[in-house]
Amino acid sequence: RQHQAVPREQIPGFEPTQSPPDTPAPGTGGIKGKRPSKKDKLRAAAAALQPPLD
């Protein structure tokens, strides 16, 4: 928070047995608009009720 790094405390008998996990690649946070909105659902329902023009 204040850009201070505090070293981890090592207590005898509680040493870590596994290596630390790899840091995951930074995600993009997903794609906005992946799911249809309420308006999109209503438009699709209205379009399904329309007879084809051909």
* Cα(47)–Cα(34) distance, integer angstroms: 20
Measured distance CA(54)–CA(46) in Å, rounded: 17
pLDDT tops 90 at residue 36: no
- Is residue 54 predicted with pLDDT exceeding 70? no
Q: Which of 27, 44, 26 lies closest to 35, judged by CA? A: 44
Q: 17-34 pLDDT, tens per residue?
A: 888 778 776 666 666 667
Q: Kind and range of the H or E element at 43?
A: helix 38-49
Proportion of the chain above pLDDT 90, given as a percent: 13
How many C-alpha atoms does 54 have within 13 Å on its Cβ side?
Answer: 0
Q: Are 44 and 36 in contact (CB under 8 A)?
A: yes
